[in-house]
Chain A
Amino acid sequence: MLAYTLRRIAQAVPILLLVSLISFGIMQLVPGDPAAVLAGPNATPDELIKLRQTLGLDKSLLSQIMIFYGNLFQGDLGYSIILGEPVLKVVLERSPISISLALYSLALTVILGLSIGVIAAMKHNRWIDQAAMTFALIGVSVPNFWLGLVMIVLFSVHLGWLPTGGYVPFFEDPVGWFLAATMPALSLAMMQIGLLARLTRSTMLEVLGQDYIRTARAKGASEPRVIIKHAMSNVLIPVVTVLGMILSVLLSGSVIVETIFAVPGIGALLGNAILGRDYPMIQGGLIFVAAVLLILNIVVDVLYAWLDPRVRVQ
């Protein structure tokens, strides 16, 4: 077990190195410069040149890379050009916001996805099944940013139920957090809800056809008991295995949703960093996010291996 875990961690190191190289490679090709962003639309050429010197952007790419890796090995991800703060500090500040949003989304996904899937399977081929699966399909097919825009108009403007966006720290005001995070979490979760509902339904149908369920029924077990005790435990196995994947999708798929709802999370941070050419922020932020996602994957794999010893041997 320990050997397996260590092996997975060892595999992650070269991947992270590749990740940093790829992001440097992309950034080398990106035209435009952060000085133009800082200087604003009124900037004169003279001002831009001075600002570039000030920010160290006139240094050669090689020396910029050397500086970056030199600092990286000391655990320093550098300074954001646009924000003027240490990358690590900003990234650490923003992560909890995205994580809380992702967890909320995950909760919505699990609760809605599972129940829709189970209900659909129980009412197989009835109208409720059809309605549930239509809903799931629409969830998988609708662009999430569009859904976000439409929800703002519907729930904030016309109905006035929810704020238009922003972020309220959970520990300061849990109710405010809940209200502000609901629309972004729902836009993020919609596709995952659809996918999970479909997965749950098909697994459930398969399980319900198994002999032992029929046996349980034959023995006179009530239908809820059959579903909860016998069927659900089997349905949950494939579901648990996709949760890790869903969480990483939710964590990384938030660039556009965070932007639309003005949620200051890691997705909006890095999206803006790319659009603003904030090289140190892009570099450091991508490495951080990739590391988090890799760790998450390792945790899921190790858990899975623990549950299913056959995997370890592979």
Chain B
Amino acid sequence: MTHRNSKNRLRGLLVAGAMAVAAGPAHAELCGQVGGDLVLGMEAKLGTLDQHVNAANATRNVAMNIFETLMTRDENMAPILDLAESLDVSEDKLSYTFKLRPGVKFHNGKPLTSADVAASFDRYNRIGVDRSALGSVDRWETPDDATFVIFLKEPQASFLESISASTVPIVIVPSEQASAEATRLEPIGTGPFQLEEFVADSHVKLKRYEDYKPNETLDAMSGFAGRKQACVDTVTFRTLAEPGARLAALETGEVHIVEDVPTLSKERLVGNEDIVQTQLKHAALWLNYPNLSEPPTDNLKVRQAIQAAMNLDEIMDAMSDGSYSLNPSFQFPGQTYYTEAGSQYYNQNDPEKAKALLKEAGYNGEAVKLLTTRDIPRLYTAAVVMSEQLKAVGINAELVVLDWPTALGMSVNETEGWNFFFTGWITVTAQGGAQSLRNLADPSNVHKPKDNKSDAEFMKQFQILSTSPDLEERKAAFAKAQERVFEQVMAIPFGVTPKNQATRANVKGYVPFFNTRVSNVWLAE
């Protein structure tokens, strides 16, 4: 999105919103029926609801109903205003002026003012997980109660993408919360639901916030933004970590919506008239990346041999029980930056080439350590299958299986003891081109290049990708950068799995998304 485009587009939204407000009752009713308790069966356990420091998807599922942000992402994951009704960007692209929507109140009854916004940005800047998003900010000011202005030190083309990122969003909290320490934020926001009860390891219960002021610039929800209504009185997010129990609870009607329906169960549920299945086709990109500091994967030829040896169909088939699509890209099909550049290196399944490359590399039976975890069964399965494929071409593959905190910690902090780390990118991929390659660029460098300097050619393209004001130029840079990642084997994408969900048949208005949204969802009798 270019600067000009974004400005026009945001103005456009404002106009549309004004018309919608004028139209008033002409709105389509969001809720076919009001009332009831909507129960969700969630896979993961919940930690703190402090959205500034918690990036877990499970937390986001709940917190996005309590908190709102100035800007967030729409259905296509493009930046969009939410608590702000307009944004003006100065000609020199150094100041961003947000006007707040009038009439918005926090759950404690206090009206939202620019002071709260500034306090929330202060807190995020102090402890927020993605506080580097505010790295180019010089200061912010609050000329009046409804106006919030951000001044940049230098122009940054991707600034709006950064502050609208939905992984660890800059949620707006009451100003008196600005000094709350990390993880100790009181869950008071402006969202359509407010917290009623939180029992970790068991459930979180939200109830409708009666004084909620919906964002009427849109007719319905779009992504995390738009017009929302709490159709049900309460929402209960139940942690049901046991996959068998989770699905059983759906079948018995104990819960209305479940996450992550196993492929085998999908087939069985087809005949069940009480259950409707939904699917978000491209939800998670599974991949691994090598450690460029640890022999033998410091050797490009060895990495290329491994790349050649891999049968990604088999890996994806095994890890998803057959529900997947191959994906030679770091973006999902349909996303702006999606490209298949470099796909000649993808899914080669060519053991002979692999053996030849190994010979060329002078590979001598050094262990190739695949670092993975059983806490995320798909990652474990992928590593198991990959190790068999590597062994088949004569590579001495070894599994290093640790629990998730240890494995992730090791891949981040250690340059020794592992050769490949397995992970899945959900939001990283969904947030767009620059975000999806950020992990392979300075200073993140998850693939541990020598001296913590990523590949020069890749970095050149990445710079264009993150700074160029022109979309076509950025897209071209993304394609080149992606091809470079394949060439240099800086990461190996396996494929994409869908998000398979199921709801009871009386759940209406549910639209699958990266996170499970409960606004505008209602229960039919």
Q: A41-B424, A44-B444, A51-B129 are in contact. Are A264 and B201 (CB under 8 A)?
A: yes
Encoded as 1 (CB less than 8 Å from any B CB) or 0, chain A from 257 to 296 comes to 0111111100011001001110000000000000000000
A157 interface residue (CB < 8 Å to B): yes
Q: A32-B403, A54-B53 are in contact. Are A42 and B426 (CB under 8 A)?
A: yes
Contacts of A38 in B (CB 8 A): 47-48, 53-56, 183
Task: Tell me if A45 and B200 are in contact (CB < 8 A).
Answer: no
A164 interface residue (CB < 8 Å to B): yes
Contacts of A67 in B (CB 8 A): none
Contacts of B376 in A (CB 8 A): 41
Encoded as 1 (CB less than 8 Å from any B CB) or 0, chain A from 99 to 125 comes to 000000000000000000000000000
Q: A120 to nearest B CB, angstroms?
A: 34
Q: A32-B403, A38-B56, A79-B183 are in contact. Are A268 and B201 (CB under 8 A)?
A: yes
Contacts of A268 in B (CB 8 A): 201
Task: Tell me if B428 and A42 are in contact (CB < 8 A).
Answer: yes
Contacts of A275 in B (CB 8 A): 403, 405
Q: Which B66-89 residues have a C-beta within 8 angstroms of A? A: none
User: A161's closest neighbor in chain B, by CB?
Assistant: B252
User: A158's closest neighbor in chain B, by CB?
Assistant: B248
Interface residues on chain A, number (Cβ under 8 Å): 54
Task: Tell me if A262 and B444 are in contact (CB < 8 A).
Answer: no
A167→B201 CA distance, assembly (Å): 10
Q: Which of A40, A152, A262, A277 makes the CB contact (< 8 A) with B55? A: A40
User: A275's closest neighbor in chain B, by CB?
Assistant: B403
Task: Tell me if B408 and A264 are in contact (CB < 8 A).
Answer: no
Contacts of A225 in B (CB 8 A): none
Binds B, one of A15-23, A80-88, A209-217: A80-88
Task: Tell me if B405 and A260 are in contact (CB < 8 A).
Answer: no
Contacts of B438 in A (CB 8 A): 44
Q: B113 to nearest A CB, angstroms?
A: 26
Task: Tell me if B410 and A272 are in contact (CB < 8 A).
Answer: no
Q: Which of A32, A259, A264 makes the CB contact (< 8 A) with B405? A: A32
A47 interface residue (CB < 8 Å to B): yes
Encoded as 1 (CB less than 8 Å from any B CB) or 0, chain A from 239 to 254 comes to 0000000000000000
Q: A230 to nearest B CB, angstroms?
A: 48
CB contacts between A and B, total, < 8 Å: 177
Encoded as 1 (CB less than 8 Å from any A CB) or 0, chain B from 197 to 239 comes to 0011111000000000000000000000000000000000011
Task: Tell me if A43 and B408 are in contact (CB < 8 A).
Answer: yes
Q: Which of B57, B130, B412, B424 makes the CB contact (< 8 A) with A45? A: B412
B280 interface residue (CB < 8 Å to A): no
A82→B254 CA distance, assembly (Å): 28
User: A265's closest neighbor in chain B, by CB?
Assistant: B201
Task: Tell me if B240 and A50 are in contact (CB < 8 A).
Answer: no
User: B446's closest neighbor in chain A, by CB?
Assistant: A45
Q: A264 to nearest B CB, angstroms?
A: 3
Q: Which of A40, A272, A277 makes the CB contact (< 8 A) with B57? A: A40
B409 interface residue (CB < 8 Å to A): yes
Contacts of B201 in A (CB 8 A): 258, 262, 264, 268-269, 272
Encoded as 1 (CB less than 8 Å from any A CB) or 0, chain B from 394 to 410 comes to 00000000111111111
A31 interface residue (CB < 8 Å to B): yes
Task: Tell me if B183 and A81 are in contact (CB < 8 A).
Answer: yes
B506 interface residue (CB < 8 Å to A): no
Q: Which of B132, B245, B407, B427 makes the CB contact (< 8 A) with A46? A: B132
Q: Which of B199, B404, B410 makes the CB contact (< 8 A) with A37? A: B404
B363 interface residue (CB < 8 Å to A): no
Encoded as 1 (CB less than 8 Å from any A CB) or 0, chain B from 429 to 453 comes to 0000000001100011110000000
A165 interface residue (CB < 8 Å to B): yes
Task: Tell me if A262 and B409 are in contact (CB < 8 A).
Answer: no
Contacts of B409 in A (CB 8 A): 31-33, 36, 48
A81→B200 CA distance, assembly (Å): 13
Q: B468 to nearest A CB, angstroms?
A: 22
Encoded as 1 (CB less than 8 Å from any B CB) or 0, chain A from 183 to 217 comes to 00000000000000000000000000000000000
B182 interface residue (CB < 8 Å to A): yes
Most buried by B among A85, A166, A269: A166
Task: Tell me if B53 and A164 are in contact (CB < 8 A).
Answer: no
Task: Tell me if A264 and B199 are in contact (CB < 8 A).
Answer: yes
Q: A42-B425, A45-B445, A268-B201 are in contact. Are A51 and B252 (CB under 8 A)?
A: no
Contacts of B254 in A (CB 8 A): 163-164, 166
A160 interface residue (CB < 8 Å to B): yes
Most buried by A among B47, B131, B403: B47
Contacts of A297 in B (CB 8 A): none
Task: Tell me if A31 and B410 are in contact (CB < 8 A).
Answer: yes
B185 interface residue (CB < 8 Å to A): yes
Most buried by B among A54, A269, A275: A54
Contacts of A41 in B (CB 8 A): 376, 404, 408, 423-426
Contacts of A46 in B (CB 8 A): 132, 443-444
A48→B445 CA distance, assembly (Å): 13
B127 interface residue (CB < 8 Å to A): yes
Q: A284 to nearest B CB, angstroms?
A: 15
Task: Tell me if B405 and A152 are in contact (CB < 8 A).
Answer: no
User: A37's closest neighbor in chain B, by CB?
Assistant: B405
Q: A164-B254, A264-B202 are in contact. Are A47 and B130 (CB under 8 A)?
A: yes
B27 interface residue (CB < 8 Å to A): no
Q: A40 to nearest B CB, angstroms?
A: 4
A131 interface residue (CB < 8 Å to B): no
User: B406's closest neighbor in chain A, by CB?
Assistant: A32
Which A-B residue pairs are the 5 nearest by beta carbons? A84-B183, A264-B202, A32-B406, A32-B405, A84-B48
A-B contact pairs, 6 of them (CB 8 A): A44-B444, A54-B182, A153-B244, A163-B252, A163-B254, A262-B202
Known: A37-B405, A39-B55. 6 other contacts (CB 8 A): A38-B53, A38-B183, A149-B242, A164-B245, A166-B240, A264-B201
